[in-house]
Each structure stands twice: as structure tokens, then as C-alpha cells.
Amino acid sequence: MAVERTLSILKPDATKRNLTGAINKVFEDAGLRIVAQKRVRLTQDQAGAFYAEHKARPFYGELVSYMISEPVVVQILEGENAVLKHRDVMGATDPAQAAEGTVRKLYALSKGENSVHGSDSAESAAREIGFFFAQSEIPG
Ligand code: ADP
Ligand code: MG
């Protein structure tokens, strides 16, 4: 298995409830390493563009409003099989469906306010890392 990188976002419900350390402990305990990280307040345009794939979905407007409601932490996680490992430890989108011990089972409030984002493929990871991080901010 190859060492990969993936994009992680600690969403507004997580920063608001002071859960960023607790959530990152779950990721670090799973063998994922934070190699770049910043706390930012997204603009409406950024949040809308980041979630452009969901533009036609009924929850899109609510999702964009939520994502700009508080700061988020955007970070690059690195590890063996990081994309899939991160998705596994995040848990299902809906916390009611999430497995025991996953971040969303432990901390998510609802299907919308579900604490974390993670890239869903290697291709998404490359695109999403480039969306948030300049080349000069990404360690070699
Ligand atoms: P994931 O984040 O698990 O990859 P999706 O890509 O399907 O999930 O959706 C992106 C985000 O949109 C979710 O994490 C969640 O915040 C929000 N979302 C998805 N489905 C719903 C829904 N039915 N109602 C409200 N918000 C939703
Ligand atoms: Mg997704």
C-alpha cells in the first residue's frame, strides 16, 4: 500500500464546540499524520465552489450557509492508504448510520452538521488539496 495524502476539514460544528483536538486525536491514533493545517473562515463563493458537485441537491444552500457559519480547519493528512483510512475513521455521512468509534458516531450532530469532511478518492484528494493549499504551503 502506498503513502497517500488526503484533504480533511473540521467543520463549523466541530470548531464551535472546541472539538478539533479530540477529533484530530482520533485521526492521529488511526495512523494519519497532519502535514499541513490552517484555520479559515470560508467565503460563500469558496464554500459554494468546494461543494459544486452537490449544487443540484436540495441541501446545497443549507450546506453552504452552514460551512460559512463558523471557522473551519482545513488540513492535509498523510499515511498508508490515507484516503480510504480517513473515510473509514470519519464514519458514514449520517451519524445515525456511523460505526462505533468513528468521528461522526462520536461527535456529529446530524447528517448536515457532521463535523468532518474527507476526500472520497485519490483524484478528489489532489483536487481538494489544490483548492485550499498553495504549492508553497504543502511540504515536499
Ligand atoms: P460525505 O461528506 O460523507 O462525503 P456527501 O458528499 O454526500 O457526504 O455530502 C456532503 C455533505 O453535505 C455532507 O457531509 C453533509 O454535511 C451534507 N449533506 C449530505 N446529505 C445531506 C442531507 N440529506 N441533508 C443535509 N445535509 C446533507
Ligand atoms: Mg462527499
Bridge partners of residue 113, in order along the sequence? none
Shortest-distance Cα residue to atom 7 of ligand 1 = 93
Asked if residues 60 and 112 have their Cβ atoms less than 8 Å apart, the reply is: no
Shortest-distance Cα residue to atom 27 of ligand 1 = 112
Ligand 1: residue of 84, 111, 127 to mutate (most ligand atoms within 8 A of CB) is 111
User: Could you read off the pLDDT of 46-86 as tens digits, one per residue?
Assistant: 999 999 999 999 999 999 999 999 999 999 999 999 999 99
Those residues with Cβ within 8 angstroms of residue 48's Cβ, 6 or more apart along the chain or in another chain: 55, 64
Q: State the Cα–Cα distance between residues 50 and 128, nearest whole angstrom.
A: 8
Q: State the Cα–Cα distance between residues 78 and 84, nearest whole angstrom.
A: 11
Q: Cα of 119 to ligand 2 centre, how many Å?
A: 7
pTM: 0.98
- Of 13, 27, 5, the closest CA to residue 101 belongs to 27
Q: Is the CB of 117 under 6 A from ligand 1?
A: yes
Residues with CB under 5 A from ligand 2 (ion): 120
pLDDT at 12: 99
pLDDT at 138: 97
Q: Which stretches of the chain score pLDDT less than 50?
A: none
Q: Cα of 33 to ligand 1 centre, how many Å?
A: 25
Query: Any catalytic annotation for residue 54?
Result: no
Q: State the Cα–Cα distance between residues 72 and 66, nearest whole angstrom.
A: 11
pLDDT at 1: 74
Shortest-distance Cα residue to atom 19 of ligand 1 = 112
